[in-house]
Structure 1
Amino acid sequence: MQSTTMDPAEESPSMLWGLDPVFSAFARLYVSDILEMTESTQVPGIYFYNSHPIYKVDVMGTVVYKRERDDFFVYGVDDSTGVINCLCWKSDLLKKEEDPSKSAGKHSNGAQGGFNLEAELIKLRQIQQNHCHLELGELLRVRGSVKTSRQQREIMASTYYKVNDPVMAAQIAWMMEVPQLYRQCYDKVLQPTTESDSPVSSLKKATDILQDFFQQNSVTKFRPYDVQDLLLPLISRQPQTDSDEGAVAGPSGVQQLRQLLKEALKVLEEQGIVYHKVKSQDEVYRVTPQDKDLFMAVKDIIREDSKREKYAEKGCHVLHILSAVRQRYSLNVSKAALELVLKSLECNSDIVSTSDNHYTAF
């Protein structure tokens, strides 16, 4: 698997990812392309195929490998271009295994007179088990987010089921549809706005400049006036005077600079990249990816609370972690900042997600 990250110069700013329709869809990519996608330098867990930001995919293939645990299955899925591991969590119904013969005998007497609700529920559970419990050689369809765990690319399934395809109709339809999606969408490069003097372009460049500065200099905290001069090149090109009267036209350069910095910091706050630990007149910002104290606080909360009986099975919900962080560390930590910390801790194998919103410690 290729484990390189995207070149920051080639990567589109994260605030523009939503403009790409592929970003919000389950991308039907070949497994070989999923394994070769490059990871974002801005947000861990986001990958790029031909400049398209992708974090969730839709795959169909043959099961060539299987491993079962108490809470999940791991299926190796082969779509003829490559093999990828798919981690498929068991539902609560799947964990309650029951002998079908015993269940039928237990409820047959009650069902003689008519419709038996409990017996029908058992039948539905058996159907679900049959669709989720696959053997080697069977056809599996998986939808979920792409993860990189211990240098291995895998799919964390949100939906999965066995495809009954005796005459290969589903596979043929899939093989005809996916190449069209590549031609019409995935292989076409999204053309971003190129108006260099537009407000959106200036704001995008401002956030990029600040993020690069934070990353390259390992900045842990700062005040707005510490980074204000970094944005001067974005202001100097804009007209400041009226050619006929020589008077200042519109807001002054200093006012424009402060406004641009304010908007850029607001975007970075919304993305969780910066936050205020304490609201004060100094306006000190903390840089989330560099805040070791915040990382340690989140890690300790998950480690301690996941031992409690209430969270022992599924782990701690993200909202519980957020509430605990605000009580024990800072009231101003946003959900976006917490999610950034959780993704980073998971990439470092300090914690593991047991579902989309639950986390536990090793």
Structure 2
Amino acid sequence: MQSEFKKYEEETPSLHWGMDPVFSAFARLYIKDIKEMRESKQVPGIFFYNGHPVRQVDVVGMVVQMKERDAFYNYGGCPSIPSSLAVLEQMKKLQEMVSQKTKLEIGDVVRVRGHIRTYRQQREIQASCFYKVDDPVYDVQISRMLELPCLYREVYDKPFQAPEKGQSGLEGQNFSINMLHEKIKGFLLENKIQTFYQQELETIDTLVSLAGVHLTSPSCQEVKSESDSSSKRIHSVFKEAIRMLQEKGVVFQKPSSSKDLYHVTDHDKELLKVTLDVIKEDCRKPRHAEKGCHFLHVLSCVRQSYNPSVAEVVIHRVLELLESNSDVVSTMEGYYMAF
């Protein structure tokens, strides 16, 4: 065990963290491993498991103790001037549902998503989203017990290998594309950009430097003839990086817009509102009131109301964002309910 630990003791440079899919995901790890992970020496708040940088986790477990600082409080209220008794009744039902989902007792099974942190020398999860799991026959817990060994075997127990500096050719270009697509994603989200053209991104020096990092440098005699070629290759790297963002639902295009215009999913307020309104409206109907709306139903309604060509992966990302903001909750696999 000691030799195995030393094997992964050296940290991956932070520049390469975005290349590891675990870094951008809610890692589903055993609680024992979360408690034993070591914190990064480069960036506090990032933890490492077998060479994988981890910043956020998804756990399911039983409440075994309650502390005063762990208590969750529900905030809500009624309209100051209610127009009818029906409004009051709807607000009461909503508050009861929120209370049932978030009021915790010893022995409750809960699902928690959040960032790992160290508080008073103890490892804990700072929850961004949590809810009580209704699991009387242990379906959720059994499913997770079957899923985790596979995730460990295929992902977590295989240490991430960052590309070496000596890479060139196709391998080097693939590395540039992977790095660039993560940096573009960060740039779009951090700057709250709603729409963009590829040409606009190609004016950002920090992004262009990543796109060209593995392009071979021409000799003095070849500089003039190679300049146009390098420009085309950089343009191609940007295009491929944006395509990867489309595949993950981070950006998308509308047929009605310019073919070169991209929309950023997280910052498309209309799309977020349409999706949330669909779930809110349908959850009032008897057939959806108990377990919520299925993903395919939400997708179909959004396509009718917003855009007929919106991709499934985009709506998956929208639902994850709404869930992380506590606007909706996934009641079971593929079903969503609005608070």
Residue 20 of structure 2 is matched in structure 1 by 16
1:86 is aligned, of 102, 105, 109, to 109
CA distance in 1, matches of 2:109, 2:39: 17
Matches within 5 A, 1:60-139: 76=106, 86-87=109-110
Distance change >3 Å, CA 12–CA 325, structure 1 → 2:
same
Tell me the equivalent position of 2:185: 211
Find the aligned partners of 1:248 and 1:299 in 2 and give their Cα distance: 53
Conservation of the 8 A alpha-carbon contact between 2:60 and 2:109? no
Distance apart, 1:63 and its partner CA: 5.4
Given the superposition, is the C-alpha separation of residues 353 and 48 from structure 1 closer, same or farther in structure 2, using an over 3 Å criterion? Answer: farther
Q: How does 1:292-307 map to 2 (within 5 A)?
A: 292-307=269-284
- Structure 2 counterpart of 1:33, one-letter code: K
Contact 2:129 2:323 in 1 (8 A): no
- Greater Rg by CA: 1
Q: Check if 1:192 corresponds to 2:194.
A: no
TM normalised by structure 1 equals 0.56
Is 2:252–2:264's contact at 8 Å kept on the other side of the alignment? yes
Return the letter of the residue paired with 1:233. Answer: S
Question: Which has the larger helix fraction?
Answer: 2
2:112–2:129 CA contact under 8 A, matched in 1: no
How many matched pairs? Answer: 254
Distance 1:155 1:192, change over 3 A: farther
Shift, 1:16, TM fit: 3.2
CA distance in 2, matches of 1:313, 1:17: 35
Deviations 1:24-66 (A, max 9, x none): 995333287399999xxxxxxxx9654444755576x79568x
1:179-218 C-alpha deviation (Å, 9 max, x unpaired): xx9xxx9799634223375122201221133122212321
Task: For residue 329 of structure 2, give the secondary structure of its aligned residue in structure 1.
Answer: strand
Cα contact 1:25–1:56 (8 A) shared by 2: yes
Contiguous gaps of at least 5 residues in structure 1: 1-7, 39-46, 78-84, 88-144, 162-177
Tell whether the 8 Å contact from 2:279 to 2:293 is kept in structure 1 after alignment.
yes
**Cα 1:32–1:201, aligned 2, differ >3 Å: closer, same or farther?**
closer
Q: CA separation in 1, counterparts of 2:185 and 2:101?
A: 39
Q: Residue 9 of structure 1: CA displacement?
A: 5.0
Query: TM-score when scaled to structure 2?
Result: 0.59
Say which SS state the counterpart of residue 285 (structure 1) adopts.
Answer: strand
What is the DSSP-based 3-state SS (H/G/I as helix, E as strand, rest coil) of the residue aligned with 1:258?
Answer: helix
**How far apart, CA to CA, are the structure 2 residues paired with 1:72 and 1:218?**
31
Using the alignment, how far apart are the partners of 2:63 and 2:318 within structure 1? 35
Aligned CA distance change for structure 1 residues 267 and 321 (closer, same or farther; 3 Å): same
Q: 2:245 aligns with which of 268, 272, 278?
A: 268
Q: Which of the numbers 204, 216, 219 marks the counterpart of 1:239? A: 216
Partner of 1:29: 31
Compared CA separation, residues 10 and 188, structure 1 to 2 (3 A): farther
Structure 1 residues 153 and 193: alpha-carbon distance in aligned structure 2, compared to 1, 3 A threshold: farther
Percent identity of paired positions between Structure 1 and Structure 2: 26
1:310 is displaced (CA, Å) by 2.2
